[in-house]
């Protein structure tokens, strides 16, 4: 059992919090109440960023003291939305939200994962017709091992998890968000994920 704080209580944060609680972890969800994120982060060992990506950097950089020596699991994508509200471009071209978070929080171990799928797949990967892939990006091997354990507890098989390497590799998975609006327009909001076929 791990003490986990989920920052963000929308569909992504709520889905992850419920699944992690069912998996036996002690989970706190921080909403936008003043001080809620700081209190939750201070008490947790692992913090999950489930805030909208466009505002994640500013919101989490303000928690530098509370996030010191913690694992920050970043599942968000920072995008500029088009007129229809769907992602149209990357907010950090040539970089990534995960890299920006690691730069802003040098004493925090940032791990990027679960950002290449619609949110229902994050906690129910086996419901797809073929195995999805969960990617890991981060500088700290121990932190990535811990996140891998969290993923297996959510139903991800070991062979479905691919460690891409350092935090810079997150720019590749974050760029995959540009597939999303086109897939949604083509097939609707049916759950899907990026998968590496071998």
pLDDT in tens, 25-55: 999 999 888 799 999 999 999 999 999 999 9
50 occurs within a structural domain: yes
196 occurs within a structural domain: no
194 occurs within a structural domain: no
pLDDT at residue 171 greater than cutoff 80: yes
CA 142 – CA 36 distance, rounded (Å): 28
52 occurs within a structural domain: yes
Task: Count other Cβ atoms within 10 Å, centred on residue 142.
Answer: 10
44 occurs within a structural domain: yes
User: What's the pTM value of the predicted model, to 2 decimals?
Assistant: 0.96
195 occurs within a structural domain: no
If phi > 0 it is left, if psi is from -120 to 50 it is alpha, else beta; for residue 188 that is left
197 occurs within a structural domain: no
What is the CATH classification number for the domain harbouring 181? 3.40.50.720
Q: Give strand pairing partners of 71.
A: 46, 109
Which pLDDT score is estimated for 115? Answer: 97
Which pLDDT score is estimated for 121? Answer: 97
Which pLDDT score is estimated for 37? Answer: 94
pLDDT at residue 97 greater than cutoff 90: yes
Confidence grade of residue 192 (pLDDT, cut at 50, 70, 90): very high
| Mean of pLDDT over the chain | 95
Domains identified in the chain, total number = 1
- Supply the range of the domain harboring residue 167: 3-187
192 occurs within a structural domain: no
CA 15 – CA 34 distance, rounded (Å): 22
């Amino acid at each position: 059992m791990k003490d986990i704080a989920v920052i963000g209580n929308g569909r992504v944060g709520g889905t992850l919090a419920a699944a992690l609680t069912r998996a036996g972890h002690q989970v706190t969800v921080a909403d936008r109440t003043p001080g809620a994120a700081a209190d939750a982060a201070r008490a947790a060992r692992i913090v999950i960023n489930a805030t909208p990506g466009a505002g994640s950097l500013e919101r989490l950089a303000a928690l530098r003291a509370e996030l010191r020596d913690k694992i920050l699991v970043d599942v968000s994508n920072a995008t500029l939305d088009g007129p229809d509200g769907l992602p149209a471009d990357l907010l950090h071209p040539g970089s990534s939200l995960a890299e920006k978070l690691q730069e802003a929080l040098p004493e925090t171990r940032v791990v990027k994962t679960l950002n290449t799928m619609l949110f229902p797949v994050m906690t129910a990967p086996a419901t797809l017709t073929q195995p999805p892939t969960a990617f890991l990006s981060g500088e700290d091997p121990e932190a990535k091992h811990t996140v891998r354990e969290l993923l297996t507890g959510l139903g991800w098989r070991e062979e479905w998890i691919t460690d891409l390497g350092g935090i810079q590799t997150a720019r590749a998975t974050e760029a995959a968000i540009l597939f999303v609006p086109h897939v949604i327009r083509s097939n609707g909001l049916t759950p899907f994920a990026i998968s590496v076929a071998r």
